[in-house]
Structure 1
Amino acid sequence: MKNLATAAALALSALLTNAVAQSSIGGATCSPTLTAKSAAPSVADGYVARLVANGLTKPRGIKFDSQGALLVVESGVGITALSLVDAGQSCLSVGSKRTVISNPDLNHGIELSTNGSTLYASTSDVLYSWEYSPQSQTNTSQPRVLINQMAGTDHTTRTLVLSKHVPGMIVVARGSTSNLDLQAEDLSSGISQVKAFNLNNMTEPYTYTNDGLLLGWGLRNEVGIAEEPITGAIYGVENSVDELERSGQDIHQDNPGEELNFLGYLNGTATPGQGGQGVNYGYPSCFSAWNAADVPDFTGQTGQQFAIGDQNSTVNDTICASLQAPRLVFQAHMAPLDILFNEQGTAAWVTFHGSWDRTDPVGYKLSVIEFANGEPVQPSNSTTAAIDIVSNADNSKCPGGCFRPVGLAWDSQGRLFMSSDATGEIFVVLRADGNSTQSVGSNATGTLPDQAASSSGTGTAASGSATSSSVASVGGMSLLAVLFGVLAFLV
């Protein structure tokens, strides 16, 4: 009995040590701590989310510079640099804040050159560049206009992505000027399009309408754009139309689906069965079904496109089916705003800003999609491809009483940072086992949580509040209870 008691005690000691280590990883011992503006997020099992910064003005796009400062586009303010104090894992805080660019017209897009010495940012009309010093966190030149004539109303963000596969190429997205913008039917309008521009040796500014390499058109509002790191495939996430009707019937609660679109490659390579470069994705006449059963007189399935308005020889379901369909669809009105791949190309992280055009709010979360060989693992008709990692515990309080994810960025340690514009906050997300958040997906060392674990909210929201600091898993605590019982019996 004594030997059994000793063994049980050793096992208990090991488990307690692991629990303490997990608690340290989750940041329960971090000091000082911040309290989230809204309720602490619900986090999937195996992950930790901690509030790093608050008090910002509508933080949108974020990017780390070469010295580890987090550059933040504060919409209506400009770009600020946050120097972080790093105590390890999720124990991060802001040591200082410095204004880099003061320009209230900057609203979302941000990029940095590979060598870290050129900063790019966009207004609704212009893409600018500045010489940038990461050592002093200052711009060292006057702004240079690279692309202009992008002005518009309604959808005014101009997302930026610098290619790593084709150096010097920058991808710029331009959305529609209204909910259902008929100008987008005209290819020459430059509206609802994604283009790439060669910045190498350019002498004069480009005009968005007339210049650039067309990656896709008929794309209502492709706010999130990313380059898959292994193959160089360009993907975008689309915010689809509101208040949709078909055949006089209101179908807007669950249709159309938000989209993940494959936009080809910057070197012009086409993929059989997936369309080519510069093809039409359907807007403003064709939309993708999320709940196909609710679409009147439609025989297609989730992910397939249908027409709106009067069916005629130029707009009908058959023609819509011939246009480029999305690679995946998501629940209507979740509003995806950013997409970011891990370095292995096995996972794409997507922020869902959340709905306004739905009775029961949806979105307001960070999700991850498994990739392999340059494309999603799930088929195009899947409704379960996006796995929730960080979400609001009660969407009924949204949009006013919850965080709203926008921008994503990796730091040099593989920790994922996420901005929330509605609450003025920055969160860090990492795995509870201490491994890099980059290490998830089918070909990586880690695994993604299943849908059940994702929806259960059994992970840790380390927001700094006393009620949300524990990181030990439910399974670990159950085992602790068993060992305590065995030890008590044996002793």
Structure 2
Amino acid sequence: MYSRPVIITALTALVAQAAAQSSIAAASCSPTLTASYAAPSVAEGYVARLIAQNLTTPRGIIFDSQGTLLVVEQSSGIVALNIVDSGKGCLSVGSRKTVINDTTLNHGIALSSNGSTLYASSSEAVYSWDYSAQSQTNTSAPRVLVTNMTGSDHTTRTLLLPQHAPGLLVVTRGSTSNLDAEAEDINTGHSQVKAFNLNNMTRPYDFNADGLLLGWGLRNEVGIDEEPITGGIYGVENSVDEMTRQGQDIHQDNPGEEMNFLGYLNGTASPNQGRNFGYPDCYSAWKPSDVPDFNGTVGTQFAIGDLNNTLNDTTCDAANRVAPRLTFQAHMAPLDILFNTAGTAAWVTFHGSWDRTDPVGYKLSVIEFANGQPVEPANSSTAAVDIVTNADNSKCPGGCFRPVGLAWDKSGRLFMSSDATGEVYAILRNDDNSTASVGSNATGTIPAQASGSSGIGTGSSASASSQSLASTTGVSAIALFVALLALVV
């Protein structure tokens, strides 16, 4: 016969187990949308829920003050998605409405802090409109803010309104080719990130001639965000394709993609700000052993091509170029970075490779932050932890999601666009906590890796089995609880 204390201890454990299972069940709901490809694999503790389909190449996304998701549809305009929240993590789109009809818009989007001004970009210019969140309409004609950015190849112009520097607008501009020789000239404006003062405008800014330079030599810094505690500006860069060094093809795993620290806009001094970050001469190693005549580590910069007295690895040292804060696997193509409000995590979308035999990327990852910096050192190869991945990258790019834009809603839930599939996902925690709670002050919220068996997908058998398991285990726990209660009584 069990003693009363032992039984009470067992009852307490069962209550905790039942509560945990209840949270898992609470994050489950019957999906109304099903992807045309294998359901994503999701890390333990997370849910990836498909909430929107049939969009036209969705890129940048942001929530307005009324909780409506604004989406840039590339070569179409901006559409408003009205999100229906049925509780227990069940989200769907109730209606759609065209906000801006402009086929030149292709990626960038931002909203003023009061929600009354909408910003978007084409390859040539940045525009703004007066905006009503109540009616989901622009209430003015477009105003041209920044011009003279036309170019080929990398044509997206990402926008950021930093909270620590109100009145400034950050604009990113990539290269005009894989190896853009004009980017070596600071006066061309190619491969640069700049900030423009919106408070004292008398005319549209010329990107090449105007603005505060945050950094140059940045091949294609598509993703950019402000670390919320210190105000530091971080970007993620797509590096060069088809690389050779000393006549040897090293492009499969080199150079690495980058996370760069570009300094501050709030008056804090930084030695990084306004400097050259390497392109088109210098690149960061991902697999150093494959780089001939090189003794560096992950993240160390090296020179491209055939080395000589003018161009060599000395050109790329810390005195001449700024090395990345973190380096990622080559060709994963990071397209967005988004911090949580606590500054404990940065989420990054990796759009996916084309210049590699075995596809890489096609996933959403998270990087742990503390005190304004990544927790991992600059030579880390494990800083980015996968949360949502494709079940089989060999099916990519044609048979998988390709993540692009990220946005938080007011409840701290993370939303992600997939341009190739015309979709939007919501990324949730299955313990009822917000996705935004992840990071260095929340032990256990960053898992070891994504797992196909632990997440709830998009209507796949994995989703059904996860719900069934929670339900069955919950019933068993209740039955045992009743039996032990009888013994106590």
Whether TM-score is above 0.5 comes out as: yes
- Tell me what 2:163 maps to: 164
Distance 1:353 1:474, change over 3 A: farther
* 1:456 is the counterpart of 2:451: yes
Quick one: distance in 2 between partners of 1:446 and 1:136?
42
- Tell me what 1:51 maps to: 50
Deviation digits for residues 148-207 of structure 1 (CA, Å, limit 9, x no counterpart): 000100000000000100101011000000001111000000000000001113120001
Deviation digits for residues 126-147 of structure 1 (CA, Å, limit 9, x no counterpart): 1000000000000011000000
- Secondary structure of residue in 1 paired with 2:437: coil
CA contact (8 A) 2:24 2:470 kept: no
Please show how residues 33-44 of structure 1 align to structure 2 within 5 Å. Answer: 33-44=32-43
- Secondary structure of residue in 2 paired with 1:171: strand
TM-score (norm 1): 0.92
- Tell me what 2:119 maps to: 120
Distance 1:299 1:11, change over 3 A: closer
Quick one: distance in 2 between partners of 1:473 and 1:112?
42
**Which of 299, 305, 308 lines up with 2:304 in the alignment?**
308
Letter in 2 for 1:19: Q
- Tell me what 1:239 maps to: 238
- Tell me what 1:286 maps to: 282
Quick one: distance in 2 between partners of 1:474 and 1:347?
31
- Tell me what 2:95 maps to: 96
Quick one: distance in 1 between partners of 2:409 and 2:119?
18
* 1:390 is the counterpart of 2:388: yes
Quick one: distance in 2 between partners of 1:310 and 1:480?
68
Distance 1:473 1:379, change over 3 A: farther
- Tell me what 1:277 maps to: 273
Deviation digits for residues 293-330 of structure 1 (CA, Å, limit 9, x no counterpart): 00000011110000012323331101201310000000
- Secondary structure of residue in 1 paired with 2:289: helix
TM-score (norm 2): 0.93
Quick one: distance in 1 between partners of 2:13 and 2:266?
57
- Tell me what 1:468 maps to: 463
**Which of 20, 26, 42 lines up with 1:24 in the alignment?**
26
Between the aligned residues of both structures, percent identity stands at 66
* 1:424 is the counterpart of 2:452: no
TM-superposed deviation, 1:432: 1.0
- Secondary structure of residue in 1 paired with 2:379: coil
- Tell me what 1:181 maps to: 180
TM-superposed deviation, 1:461: 2.9
Post-superposition, which runs of at least 4 consecutive aligned residues in structure 1 deviate over 4 A?
A: 1-14, 470-491
- Secondary structure of residue in 1 paired with 2:169: strand
Q: Which moved more, 1:313-322 or 1:294-303?
A: 313-322
TM-superposed deviation, 1:446: 4.8
CA contact (8 A) 1:371 1:441 kept: yes
- Tell me what 2:200 maps to: 201
Quick one: distance in 1 between partners of 2:413 and 2:97?
22
- Tell me what 2:350 maps to: 352
Quick one: distance in 1 between partners of 2:480 and 2:294?
60
- Secondary structure of residue in 1 paired with 2:314: helix
Quick one: distance in 2 between partners of 1:401 and 1:331?
21
- Structure 1: tracts of 5 or more residues without a match: none
Q: Which moved more, 1:234-243 or 1:313-322?
A: 313-322
Quick one: distance in 1 between partners of 2:467 and 2:260?
38
Letter in 2 for 1:308: I
**Which of 444, 447, 451 lines up with 1:447 in the alignment?**
444
Quick one: distance in 2 between partners of 1:430 and 1:372?
22
**Which of 404, 408, 412 lines up with 2:410 in the alignment?**
412
Quick one: distance in 2 between partners of 1:186 and 1:221?
16
TM-superposed deviation, 1:6: 8.4
- Structure 2: tracts of 5 or more residues without a match: none
**Which of 401, 405, 415 lines up with 2:399 in the alignment?**
401
- Tell me what 2:67 maps to: 68
Q: Which moved more, 1:457-466 or 1:230-239?
A: 457-466
Q: Which moved more, 1:10-19 or 1:140-149?
A: 10-19
Distance 1:469 1:427, change over 3 A: farther
Quick one: distance in 2 between partners of 1:376 and 1:363?
20
CA contact (8 A) 1:15 1:480 kept: no
- Tell me what 1:318 maps to: 314
CA contact (8 A) 2:26 2:430 kept: no
CA contact (8 A) 1:45 1:473 kept: no
> Number of aligned pairs?
482
- Tell me what 2:83 maps to: 84
CA contact (8 A) 1:265 1:277 kept: yes
Quick one: distance in 2 between partners of 1:21 and 1:307?
52
Q: Which moved more, 1:303-312 or 1:163-172?
A: 303-312
* 1:333 is the counterpart of 2:331: yes
CA contact (8 A) 1:175 1:191 kept: yes
Distance 1:240 1:477, change over 3 A: farther
- Tell me what 2:225 maps to: 226
TM-superposed deviation, 1:460: 1.5
**Which of 349, 365, 368 lines up with 1:367 in the alignment?**
365
- Could you say what the CA RMSD is over the residues aligned between the two structures, in angstroms? 2.6
Letter in 2 for 1:449: I
- Secondary structure of residue in 2 paired with 1:115: coil
Distance 1:128 1:371, change over 3 A: same
Distance 1:46 1:480, change over 3 A: farther
Quick one: distance in 2 between partners of 1:132 and 1:17?
44
